[in-house]
Amino acid sequence: MSLGFLNVSWWVPFAYFAVGAHLSNACTSIYLHRSITHRALELSPIVAFPMRLWLWLSTGVNTREWVACHRKHHAHADREEDPHSPVNSSVLAVLFGGWGQYRRAVADADMVQKYGKGVPADWWERNVFGKHTLPGLLLLLGLDLVLLGWAWGATVWAVQLFHMPLQGGIVNGIGHGWGYRNFDTKDHSTNLFPFGLWIAGEELHNNHHADPKAACFRKRWFEVDTGWVYVRVLENLGLATSVHRGTVVSSG
């Protein structure tokens, strides 16, 4: 078995995965979710392009399809036309089958056309990121193999692929079934935890549904939104502009 450049101890692959997974979480939350889907902020190309590149490598998600599916979710949250609601199926069905529900939703070209307007349509999106998703995933596989060796590299890559669908299932499944609510929204959204750390603030799902335009998901003093921390850093560096702080405040 060949060894990779970073394959010096058992904990290195775990640390490598943890950093890469959190980077994918942050890019999904800040770029795909807050910026592109909800227009809660504008990102400088200096930041947006590396985020797009990493998402292409680590998730293979088509930007327009992801945005369209999520916008439809907000338009019909927990109603019959919601692409992934545990109210219409079950928490476990969304948690473990959410990727299939997502793929069925984005297979509807009319839905993608209706809800996917205004996403980036530059050369990179038309010819690379939105057109050829498999090469990005294979490039990441190659990088993992070089850095970690055959056994750890293949294992970490497989877990990386499984990680993002599982994250989506957690937010869209458990995040509409279990947890606490700050706001009496028309849907069943909940906050999973008051500490939005691992998935960059997406845990504060009820807060987000109550104020989708807000770039900050934190609504109460004890809540933590790491995605918002990153946005504030980017804003202070002049790399994030038109940042919407939100208009809804919890009374709790």
In a domain, 6, yes or no: no
Distance, CA of 94 to CA of 117 (rounded, Å) = 26
In a domain, 185, yes or no: yes
Residue-wise pLDDT tens digits, 53-83: 999 999 988 999 999 999 999 999 888 888 8
**DSSP string spanning 13-74?**
HHHHHHHHHHHHHHHIIIIIIIIIIT---EE-HHHHHHHHHHHHHHT---HHHHHHHHHHHH
Predicted confidence at residue 114, as pLDDT, reads: 94
In a domain, 249, yes or no: no
Which residues span the domain enclosing 222? Answer: 11-241
In a domain, 202, yes or no: yes
Does residue 163 have a pLDDT over 50? yes
Q: Report yes or no: 38 and 85 within 8 Å, Cβ to Cβ.
A: no
In a domain, 164, yes or no: yes
Does residue 115 have a pLDDT over 60? yes
Residue-wise pLDDT tens digits, 119-149: 998 999 999 998 888 999 999 999 999 999 8
Residue-wise pLDDT tens digits, 17-45: 999 999 999 999 999 999 999 999 999 99
In a domain, 4, yes or no: no
In a domain, 250, yes or no: no
Q: How many domains does the chain have?
A: 1
Predicted confidence at residue 6, as pLDDT, reads: 66
pTM of the full predicted structure? 0.91
In a domain, 251, yes or no: no
7, 126, 165, 227 from 61: Cα distances, Å = 29, 14, 10, 20
